Amino acid sequence: MSMGVATTVRRTSPLGRALRSYARATDRVSEALGWLAKWIVPICVVVGFVNVLLRYVGRFQNRSLTSNRYIELQWMLFGALFLLVLPYILKHAINVRVDFLQARFSRDVDAGNAADPSGPTVGVEGTPTA
């Protein structure tokens, strides 16, 4: 018997290979959507700036230079931005963390009871949680 390192050959099933290729494809799609979304941001900013500029210039001329189309375009761009960038954000885990309140409290007090002005609630076992 040799004292060498035991090596095992691990063969992947066709399902495993298919799932890996699917994961790589969704990663590529997420990256492409993130790239597209980064170009929507300046367009949305320009549309908003032009809308505000035309509104104030129109006040000095006593005319309405703006239209609801600009506001609607800005909202549609914002909605598209949100939907396009969401897979990219989740892939890279760069989403905004909102659990900062729970980190401020001790482990025996959960965030639900800390934010509840009515006081402690009864837990699953029937004991107060706070």
Kindly report the pTM of this predicted structure.
0.59
Q: Is residue 76 part of a domain?
A: yes
In the chain, the number of structural domains is 1
Collapsing DSSP to helix, strand or coil, 49 comes out as helix
Q: How far apart are alpha carbons 61 and 5 in whole angstroms?
A: 85
Query: Which tens digits make up the pLDDT trace of 34-76?
Result: 999 999 999 999 999 999 999 999 998 888 888 889 999 999 9
Q: Is residue 31 part of a domain?
A: yes
Q: Is residue 116 part of a domain?
A: no
Instruction: Quote the domain boundaries for residue 60.
Output: 27-107
Q: Is residue 129 part of a domain?
A: no
Closest CA to 113 of 95, 92, 127: 127
Q: Is residue 83 part of a domain?
A: yes
Query: Which tens digits make up the pLDDT trace of 5-18?
Result: 656 656 789 999 99
What are residue 128's phi and psi, to 5 degrees? -65, 145
Q: Is residue 41 part of a domain?
A: yes
Query: Which tens digits make up the pLDDT trace of 78-129?
Result: 999 999 999 999 898 887 766 666 666 666 555 455 555 555 554 444 445 5
Q: Is residue 63 part of a domain?
A: yes
Collapsing DSSP to helix, strand or coil, 44 comes out as helix
Q: Is residue 96 part of a domain?
A: yes
